[in-house]
């Protein structure tokens, strides 16, 4: 039987949240050139065979760009999906869902980085 | 006004009904572009998974790569890829619009509407341009 | 296609409502039933149909939509005039808030043809056929078009809308240059009608914790006031993943403000101030 003010106050301000907002923006800014680079490369290599694609990807510049892209991409994805879940999921499932998304993004980013390194160091 | 406990309040012993919101609120450029940006973000998350699958296949060798590429260049795959391209450009243009707002610029209604239509037009134009370039380069 | 100010009524409607089920996320007690059609006045040459949301807390019935035929030659030009005509001539039990009838008190805020605005400054001639009148969106309804705004005012109270100054009161005024005073323009004029907050999808889904555009615009009003000395405490109160950061710049608020104010911009200013104090 709380007063309207107490109910609106909830547990009070978390006095935080800007880090998440800032990281989302920083990764977004990084992703603008990186994703355009990826798209441009894919378009430029349309119809290329396996050897051509590997030849492009194993260069130091391409490998590095791909790794930075994967890190920025999955960081941005994890932050964005966390916000979506917080918006729509209000049960206890919210915490499990956010953890799942973060772990999933971490795993996928790692898998992508490993694959890129394998290609970079292949014969 | 006699408000009792529960967030909805109570009148004459009955919990108060909630007035309709999304069921009746008019879709406007503001809300439509915003939800479109969110939908594209979810679509692109799936695309990110696809990217990792593609990279892993490439790392595994020509046979695995060939299988994945087969799906990509199939008719269904191309339609999905076209959709992803459109989602990418819409999220890119929408994202840039958001980044401009973060500098506290472009908030007058006129600017909101002009930048909004620019996002729609830009997404379509860039998607078509990317695919045209791809078709031209493929010969 | 390009909206220049919030009082512009759209000429073209591509979509009247979002493609969700009619009773999407609607609790059983909020489900709207079929209502009655009230008899049209005899010998009236210009009639307009109004579909109005009704709810009687003293009956056992759910909310419903009643249809009224309003004699346009017998009532004033605004939607509020039509509601008053209905109450005088057809159904005296129709309940709605009103006071100034000139767009400065905020009492008659309601949802007309799908958007929130003040009934006293919305022309009947700008309404569609039939005109649809609902209460402000996503609020508990006391009766008919009268919403319970207790929670919204509680959220306003959280941002402490009064001057915080430790510096003792000077003999005359706390001085402010014209430039400093101009920082309040576009924010002090808010009439707390809550059209913005009630039209914000983020507040629909997280209104228990997200403060909403009205409270946040006023929070910026106090942050922007050069005489205020409590920026630190104010920003501490606001910097929260839900209180402030549920705003995703959807901008329904700026689109719907009947006073032409810009809550979206005010919130962006708050976020910028939070970043500035970070480093």
What are chain B's domains? Answer: 29-138 (1.20.1300.10)
Helix (H, G, I), strand (E, B) or coil at C131: strand
- Report the alpha-carbon distance of residue C144 to residue C95 in Å, rounded: 5
What pLDDT digit, counting tens, does each position of B99-117 carry?
Answer: 999 999 999 999 999 999 9
Q: Kindly report the CATH number assigned to the domain that includes residue A22.
A: 1.20.1300.10
**pLDDT at residue number B11:** 60
Distances (CA, A) of B71 to A9, B41, B134, C95: 53, 23, 18, 62
B101: closest CA of chain A, how far (Å): 11
Question: For A78, which residue in chain B has the nearest alpha carbon?
Answer: B45
The torsion defined by the Cα of C215, C221, C227 and C230, in degrees rounded to 10, comes to 40
Q: Does residue A99 sit within a domain? A: yes
C contacts of B20 (beta carbons < 8 Å): 26, 30, 32, 134, 137-138
B contacts of A66 (beta carbons < 8 Å): 55
- Report the alpha-carbon distance of residue A92 to residue A97 in Å, rounded: 9
Closest CA to C159 of C92, C85, C97, C212: C212
CB-based contact C121:C108 (threshold 8 Å)? no
- Report the alpha-carbon distance of residue C40 to residue C28 in Å, rounded: 32
Average pLDDT over residues C117-143: 97
**CATH entry 3.10.20.30 includes domain C28-147:** yes
pTM (predicted TM-score): 0.95
Segments forming the whole domain that contains residue A36: 17-120
Radius of gyration of chain A (CA): 20
DSSP C61-98: PPPEEEEEEEEGGGS-SBHHHHHHHHHHHT-TT-----
What pLDDT digit, counting tens, does each position of B12-38 carry?
Answer: 678 999 999 999 999 999 999 999 999
Q: Identify which of A36, A80, A119 has the shortest CB distance to residue B41.
A: A80
A16: closest CA of chain C, how far (Å): 5
Write down which chains contact chain B via at least 3 CB pairs under 8 A. Answer: A, C
Q: Does residue A88 sit within a domain? A: yes
Question: For B14, which residue in chain C has the nearest alpha carbon?
Answer: C57
B9: closest CA of chain A, how far (Å): 10
Cβ contact, residue pair C2, B114, below 8 Å: yes
Cβ contact, residue pair C1, B113, below 8 Å: yes
Sign of the alpha-carbon torsion through B87, B90, B93, B96: negative
B21: closest CA of chain C, how far (Å): 5
DSSP E strands in C3-46: the ranges are 33-37
Q: How many domains does chain A have?
A: 1
What pLDDT digit, counting tens, does each position of A20-69 carry?
Answer: 999 999 999 999 999 999 999 999 998 889 999 999 999 999 999 999 99
CATH of C150-163+173-278, one of 1.10.1060.10, 1.20.120.1200, 1.20.1260.10, 3.30.390.10: 1.10.1060.10
CB-based contact B26:C114 (threshold 8 Å)? yes
B contacts of C137 (beta carbons < 8 Å): 19-21, 24-25
DSSP A3-48: -HHHHHHTT---S--HHHHHHHHHHHHHHHHHHHHHHHHHHHTTT-
């Amino acid at each position: 039987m709380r007063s309207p003010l107490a109910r609106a106050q909830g547990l009070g301000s978390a006095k935080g949240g800007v880090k998440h907002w800032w990281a989302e923006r920083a990764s977004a800014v990084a992703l603008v050139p990186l994703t355009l680079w990826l798209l441009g490369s894919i378009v430029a290599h349309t119809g290329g065979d396996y050897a051509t694609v590997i030849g492009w990807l194993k260069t130091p510049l391409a490998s590095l760009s791909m790794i930075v892209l994967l890190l920025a991409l999955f960081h941005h994805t994890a932050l964005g999906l966390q916000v979506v879940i917080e918006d729509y999921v209000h049960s206890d499932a919210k915490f499990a869902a956010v953890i799942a998304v973060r772990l999933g993004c971490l795993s996928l980013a790692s898998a992508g980085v490993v694959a890129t390194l394998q290609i970079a160091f292949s014969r | 006004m006699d408000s009792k406990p529960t967030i909805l309040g109570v009148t004459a012993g009955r919990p108060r009904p909630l007035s309709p919101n999304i069921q009746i609120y008019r879709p406007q450029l503001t809300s439509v572009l915003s939800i479109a940006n969110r939908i594209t973000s979810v679509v692109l998350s799936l695309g990110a998974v696809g990217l990792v699958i593609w990279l892993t296949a490439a790392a595994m060798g020509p046979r695995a790569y060939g299988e994945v590429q087969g799906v990509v260049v199939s008719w269904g795959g191309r339609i999905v890829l076209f959709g992803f391209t459109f989602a990418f450009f819409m999220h890119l243009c929408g994202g840039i619009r958001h980044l401009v707002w973060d500098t506290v610029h472009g908030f007058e209604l006129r600017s909101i509407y002009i930048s909004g239509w620019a996002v729609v037009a830009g997404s379509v134009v860039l998607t078509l341009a990317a695919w045209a370039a791809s078709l031209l380069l493929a010969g | 296609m390009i909206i220049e100010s919030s009082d512009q009524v759209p000429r073209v409607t591509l979509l009247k409502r979002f493609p969700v089920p009619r009773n999407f996320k609607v609790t059983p007690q909020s489900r709207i039933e079929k209502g009655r059609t009230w008899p049209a006045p005899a010998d009236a040459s210009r009639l307009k149909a109004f579909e109005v949301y009704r709810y009687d807390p003293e009956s056992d019935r759910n909310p419903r939509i009643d249809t009224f035929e309003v004699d346009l030659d017998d009532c004033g030009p605004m939607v509020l005039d039509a509601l008053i005509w209905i109450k005088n001539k057809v159904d005296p039990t129709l309940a709605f808030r009103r006071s100034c009838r000139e767009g400065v008190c905020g009492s008659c805020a309601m949802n007309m043809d799908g958007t929130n605005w003040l009934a006293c400054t919305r022309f009947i001639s700008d309404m569609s056929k039939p005109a649809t009148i609902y209460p402000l969106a996503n609020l508990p309804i006391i009766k008919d078009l009268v919403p319970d705004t207790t929670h919204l005012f509680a959220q306003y109270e959280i941002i402490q809308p009064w001057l915080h100054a430790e510096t003792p009161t000077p003999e005359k005024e706390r001085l402010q240059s014209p430039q400093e005073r101009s920082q309040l323009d576009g924010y002090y004029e808010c009439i707390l009608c809550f059209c913005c907050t009630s039209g914000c999808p983020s507040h629909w889904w997280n209104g228990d914790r997200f403060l909403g555009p009205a409270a946040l615009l006023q929070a910026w009003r106090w942050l922007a006031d050069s005489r205020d000395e409590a920026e630190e405490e104010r920003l501490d109160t606001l910097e929260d993943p839900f209180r402030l950061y549920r705003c995703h710049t959807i901008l329904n608020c700026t689109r719907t403000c009947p006073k032409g104010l810009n809550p979206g911009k005010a919130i962006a200013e708050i976020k910028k101030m939070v970043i500035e104090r970070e480093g």
